[in-house]
Structure 1
Amino acid sequence: MDLARALGWLPPERFRSSPRAKPAALTAWHTPGYVAALERAEAQQVVDDATRARHGLGTTSNPVFPEMYRRPATGVGGVMLAAQILAAGGVVHVPGGGTHHAFPDRANGFCYLNDPAFAILALRAQGARRVAYVDIDAHHCDGVEHGFRDDSDTLLVSVHEADRWPRTGAITDRGLGNVFNLPVPRGFHDDDMALVRDRLILPAVAAFRPDAIVLQAGSDGVLEDPQSRMALSNNAHLGVLNGLRPLASRLMLLGGGGYNPWAVGRCWTRLWGALARQDAPDRLPSDAQAVLRGLRWERRGGGRAVEPAEDWVTTLADPWRGGTPGDGVVASLGELAGRLRAWV
């Protein structure tokens, strides 16, 4: 948000503060017992063994921290507000959303509440019967698939790194036929994603004819991110967003994974710029550079601060990172093509 404001892309009239979802609202997808346990863990800042075993709280992947209930509940409130804003059509960016690993009764993978699930439910409550959910995070959207794999009014398309945690999202997963998973190999690059976009993502969404689209645009697939071995630039994310935008009257863009703060900030700001009809400058103005130069990142718990590459603080658009589409990607697309034709 600071970077978008420094570029003049986020005037006050285009910004809304997210409300915090109330516990009763959260039980539309999460169990009452889990919501109560999450509230209690935040208040007490400790969990007992029974809660840890039952709900996955207080683990290495789902640690206790001061706003462990309030922060994700605000993410859910954000998608609920976004759905209301989109009732008459349009686009909304909810960068604080995208926590796609949480399950109804337990936390999972740093995700405590599943706001993408609430995005789908909230859009439906606002009259969007058919919702297409597209996820390009490096990690598979296991929680969302769990909730909607057997919902014929929801299309699920996930592009994620193969053999990467949580090691779900096999290409053979079908649900009711509305689940299309594409695990991709390490080194997956921009030309690979362009091929996947044109042969899988856009044809599937167009054939589904959704009333609304939710795009989870996790930035952890970019080359600089430490949590994947993919080799994308933020051009890949922009290409998917631009391709999806005309396919429904309502589009909700979420954040998601991303562990290099410069890559995250540049990617999501660029996506917001696209929604706001703004082009990335060749070189960032000084105020925008100052935002990026002010970031600090110490990897692995307090080590030496990472020094950003110069283009991480002077540019918004990454260079194109392409090449010949990999044989594995082409073969997987071929495998899904038959299913897609039959499904259409």
Structure 2
Amino acid sequence: MSTPLFIGSEIYRGSSYGPQHPLAIPRVPTVIDLCRAMGWLPREQYRTSPRAKPAALHAFHAPTYIEALQRAEATGAVDAETRKRHQIGTLSNPVFPEIFRRPATAAGGSLLAAELIAPGGVVYNPGGGTHHGMADRAGGFCYLNDPVLAIKALLGQGLSRIAYVDIDAHHCDGVAAAFHGEPRVMMISTHEEKRWPFTGTLDDDAGGNAINLPLPRATNDSGFAMALERVILPAVQAQRPEAIVLQCGADAVTEDPLSRLAMSNNAHWACVAALKGMAPRLLVLGGGGYNPWTVGRLWAGVWATLNGADMPDRLPGAARAVLEGLGWTRRRGERPDHLLNTMRDAPRPGPIPDDLRRRVQFLEDRRRVWV
């Protein structure tokens, strides 16, 4: 594979869903600043994300919905009918100054990534991964669905075997809806059970092309490692994908406020490392993640993993300064030392609950039937 490329944009710097929203925190700017402070992001590997035009967004999203987003940005408000129909202007999906430009930039980054990997290669778009967006409405902080748009672009290139792997703490309901029954796209999702959006049950195969593994509360590195080795990797290997799209949501770690999983960032990096050689094309996206220190460290480590960069035991001063400069209205008490001084969490192994073992066995047995 060629040298990995990183897609970013300055639109994320200073843009916020509002001071009380979980996405009040800086995420993509922190990743960019950390990677640059570590010397991992030379200019030649960086690409500026374009903003997707409405015509490109219509590949999945309804024109009336795109028009509603543009109108909301222009006026700074929505009426009751628009709020009800498109689910914008709600507590989860508020109107904010860049309500169209920001998600359109994330979508533009993923569409650019699909072009860049057409001949083969690896691209990282941490601003992407908005997997809850539906064709005509927002959902779960996601206004547009850039994974769907990227996959559709790859299908448009003539690819017929695409693996979509999603390790966010929340199920990828928008992607599942978009590709229900689509034989060219295999979807694999691990997510916390009984967590919004309450979809992706163990027996849900989305019309025959999906593997859903709900993870019990407090699943640790050991539990995820079992899921990776016995469910995710065998399924991907059996498909022999021409492209892999990995949604690497950062909200499954212990410190995240919007899940009750108990992983370290090592679990995510192990998944990235295992998948990066399994297809000639790899697109890695961001996703969830609502603790500014854990998101920045985890996603910077994803980029390091894609590049084979070494992570020091202690961060140099410039990288530490990036983390020390972050603030968070949800913070209680002092920040643990490791969130400021290290990139890598201490591993979080532990017992694997019997119900997770049974779910993994169920999926293994079902895969044998499929084969």
Residue pair 1:55, 1:107 contacting (<8 A) in 2 also: yes
Residue pair 1:79, 1:122 contacting (<8 A) in 2 also: no
**Residue 64 (structure 2) pairs with residue 33 (structure 1):** yes
Paired amino acid for 1:220: D
2:246 aligned to which of 210, 215, 220: 215
Residue pair 1:177, 1:343 contacting (<8 A) in 2 also: no
Alpha-carbon deviation of 1:337?
1.2
After TM superposition, the score normalised by the length of structure 2 is 0.90
Residue pair 1:83, 1:126 contacting (<8 A) in 2 also: no
SS of 2:47's partner is: coil
Matched with 2:344 is 317
Alpha-carbon deviation of 1:126?
3.2
Alpha-carbon deviation of 1:305?
7.2
2:184 aligned to which of 131, 153, 171: 153
Distance 2:275 2:369 in 1: 22
**Residue 333 (structure 2) pairs with residue 333 (structure 1):** no
Runs (5+) with no aligned partner, structure 1:
none
Residue pair 1:23, 1:35 contacting (<8 A) in 2 also: yes
Paired amino acid for 1:188: T
2:313 aligned to which of 259, 282, 287: 282
Distance 1:279 1:125 in 2: 37
1:113-128 equivalences under 5 Å are: 113-128=144-159
Alpha-carbon deviation of 1:67?
0.3
Residue pair 1:296, 1:306 contacting (<8 A) in 2 also: no
Paired amino acid for 1:235: N
Distance 1:184 1:200 in 2: 12
Distance 2:152 2:334 in 1: 42
**Residue 202 (structure 2) pairs with residue 176 (structure 1):** no
- Against the structure 1 CA distance between its residues 46 and 306, is the aligned structure 2 distance closer, same or farther, given a 3 Å change threshold? farther
Matched with 2:105 is 74
Distance 2:114 2:304 in 1: 20
**Residue 188 (structure 2) pairs with residue 137 (structure 1):** no
Residue pair 1:297, 1:305 contacting (<8 A) in 2 also: no
After TM superposition, the score normalised by the length of structure 1 is 0.97
Q: Which deviates the most, 262-271 or 128-137?
A: 128-137
Q: Count matched residues.
A: 340
Runs (5+) with no aligned partner, structure 2:
1-31
Matched with 1:267 is 298
Distance 2:263 2:332 in 1: 24
Residue pair 1:245, 1:251 contacting (<8 A) in 2 also: yes
2:50 aligned to which of 19, 30, 55: 19
Paired amino acid for 1:44: T
Identical columns (%): 56
Alpha-carbon deviation of 1:243?
1.2
Distance 1:307 1:168 in 2: 35
SS of 2:153's partner is: helix
1:45 aligned to which of 53, 76, 81: 76
Matched with 2:15 is none
Alpha-carbon deviation of 1:176?
3.0
Paired amino acid for 1:239: A
Quote the RMSD (CA, aligned, Å).
1.1
Residue pair 1:87, 1:127 contacting (<8 A) in 2 also: no
* Large movers: runs of 4+ above 4 Å: none
Distance 2:126 2:295 in 1: 10
Matched with 2:27 is none
Paired amino acid for 2:346: P
Matched with 1:2 is 33
Q: Show CA shifts across 1:274-328 (max 9, x none).
A: 11110211111001100111111112xxxx7764211101100111101122111
SS of 1:88's partner is: coil
Paired amino acid for 2:137: R
Q: Show CA shifts across 1:28-57 (max 9, x none).
A: 000011110111111111100110111101
**Residue 129 (structure 2) pairs with residue 102 (structure 1):** no
Distance 2:334 2:86 in 1: 38
Residue pair 1:20, 1:74 contacting (<8 A) in 2 also: yes
Matched with 1:224 is 255
SS of 2:277's partner is: helix
2:124 aligned to which of 87, 93, 111: 93
Q: Which deviates the most, 173-182 or 225-234?
A: 173-182
SS of 2:244's partner is: strand
Distance 2:157 2:325 in 1: 40
Residue pair 1:234, 1:318 contacting (<8 A) in 2 also: yes
Residue pair 1:297, 1:306 contacting (<8 A) in 2 also: no
